[in-house]
A = this chain, B = another copy of it.
Amino acid sequence: MTLKIGVIGTGAIGRDHIRRVTKSLAGAEIIAVTDVNQQAAEAVIKEFKLNATLYKDDVDLIQDSRIEAVFITSWGQAHESSVLKAIEAKKFVFCEKPLATTAEGCMRIVEAEMAYGNPLVQVGFMRRYDSGYKKLKEAIDQNTIGEPLLMHCAHRNANVAERYSTDMAIHDTLIHEIDVLRWLINDDYVSAQVFYPRKTKHALPHLKDPQMVMLETESGVMINVEIFVNCTYGYDIQCEIVGEEGLLRLPDEAHVQVRKGGQIGKEIGMDWQERFAHAYDVEVQDFIDNVLDKGTVSGPTAWDGYIAAVTADACVKAQISGVKETIELAQCPDFYKKEKPAAKVVY
């Protein structure tokens, strides 16, 4: 039993998922691809020796009746339309972030999925599959530190390309924290505020870097996230949760300790793809397994994609206004409600 997948978009992330499915994971096969750049798509077919049809666009690909699941890895602007077509065709969807570029677009997907009546869509927030974050989540759900009160986070890149703009700090960078932090603490955001510390000399004139985002949740948890995309020293993801009974800290990656020349040191990676390589594998394998074995999807939902969009919008607004912006979410439909874990006290 092999899951038949069609891939819409064969750019960097599309190609990487094709490699993953073909060379690293079990149970799936890429049988069709499409890209606005047809030559690029063809090159990927060759590179991985895929036995795959090259379609001229997403419409044609989705119509291929052999296809059971669609990977949407085109550029963000195109996501909504492809997702809606896939839902209409009753295909399972793995859609990279963003689900849609607007909250309204996300809501249209939510409604389409609910109209269909069963979960079809998983959004590509891979951090939920990182072993560190999973262990944080587990510890919180087991009530290890009691009720969360504060979170201190940092998202640092060694550097970014010239095209990286101030709002991309929200849409491309913070977006991962937006999804994973509320998931960690089973909570939703109510406001966002953005602060600009002294700017690093390593940032180009058009870019505000670093930035400090402060998010508040319904239950009053206060979250600060440092975004620093020209920190020079490495790709560094920090997450600390302060609760009523203690504190949890996301571990640094395990690296060999070196004692040399008056220093005890270990490497810190420079590359986000390496940092989350295993999370990507687990994420996509989980998608394949759920579809194959249970005929459903798990993981981040269209609703999660909607919340990310609304929150990101408020953050961008806060970047401009300089004041605290309210985050107003629609009521979560029963369709998307997950039971909160029954907290059990663990010492």
Contact = CB atoms under 8 A, between A and B. Distances in A.
Contacts of A146: 201
Interface residues of A, number: 78
Contacts of A201: 146-147, 244
A231 B261 CA distance: 10
Interface string A183-220: 00000000000011111111000000010101000011
Given A201-B244, A246-B261, A150 B251 contact: no
B265 A255 contact: no
A248 B254 contact: no
Nearest to A27: B23
A260 B49 contact: no
A242 B149 contact: no
Contacts of A90: none
Interface stretch (A53-61, A266-274, A305-313): A266-274
B27 A135 contact: no
A216 to B, nearest CB: 8
Interface string A233-276: 11010000010111111111111111111111111111000000
Contact of A268 (B135, B264, B267): B264
Interface string A138-155: 010000111111101010
A160 interface: no
A24 interface: yes
A267 B135 CA distance: 10
A214 B154 CA distance: 16
A2 to B, nearest CB: 10
Given A21-B26, A242-B228, A262 B267 contact: yes
Nearest to A234: B262
A145 B260 contact: yes
A250 B256 contact: yes
Contact of A231 (B242, B253, B285): B242
A221 interface: yes
Nearest to A134: B256
Contacts of A49: 1
Contacts of A210: 149-150, 242
Contacts of A246: 231-233, 258-261
A224 B198 CA distance: 14
Contacts of A222: 195-198, 212
19 contacts: A144-B258, A147-B198, A147-B200, A147-B201, A149-B200, A152-B154, A154-B242, A195-B222, A197-B221, A200-B244, A212-B224, A233-B259, A246-B258, A246-B261, A247-B260, A251-B254, A251-B255, A254-B254, A264-B267
Interface of A: 1, 21-27, 49, 131-132, 135-136, 139, 144-150, 152, 154, 195-202, 210, 212, 214, 219-222, 224, 226, 228, 231-234, 236, 242, 244-270, 278, 285, 289, 347
Given A24-B26, A149-B199, A195-B214, 7 more contacts: A135-B267, A196-B222, A197-B220, A197-B222, A198-B219, A200-B244, A232-B245
